[in-house]
Amino acid sequence: MEENEKNINNIPETDITVEEAPKKNSFMKEIREWIQAIVIALVVAFLLRNYVLTLAKVDGQSMEPTLQHSDRLYVNRVAYTPQKGDVIIFEPASDPGRPYIKRVIATEGDKLYIDFETGDVYLNGNLIDEPYISEPTHLRGSYIDFLIMSGNYSKENPIEIKEGYFWAMGDNRNASKDSRELGQIPVDELIGHATFRFWPLDNLGTVDYDEE
């Protein structure tokens, strides 16, 4: 009897340790999985933010009446080629650090003429319909002034958009700094295509205009 009691008393106390070890390993595994999930989510968010889709806030009145100051937009950054009627965001080399939001009016190969007396815009010899503008186009800009002074601008001698460039103007034509001032815009200055307005909620929807 004494021998049995002695044997029982000498049993190593490992029963608690054996039961807790799997729980501890499971807990650490769960922590590692959560950390991995968070890291992956942050990487995906970074890639989406910088290379796929970003958010933009309208600053100023140059796109009225289509867009208002402080409107919020989704901007698509993936494999986008400027199309006439699209609202786009670009950052001109002449004004770094200040993104511009304008509408594409002409793309490479197009011939553009603006009659600043009547405010009419002609594309490839045809008067275009512009229901999105606030008023006819009378403001010229330094680029247009240079062309006029050098004798390189008339209805018979319109601006021809070069390969790899586009022409963009604000919808608020007489309160916008755009291609009339900056000239033709290189595609490599393009940030993306403003596809959708998500704020304010009462103006939720797309902002493009199909000129066709």
Active site residues: 62, 102
In contact, 110 and 167? CB cutoff 8 Å: yes
Q: Which residues fall within 8 angstroms of residue 139, CB to CB, at 6 or more apart? A: 116, 173, 174, 175, 176, 180
> How many Å apart are CA 37 and CA 15, to the nearest integer?
34
> How many Å apart are CA 85 and CA 36, to the nearest integer?
43
As a whole number of Å, the end-to-end CA separation of the chain is 103
Helices and strands, number each (H, E), in the chain: 4, 11
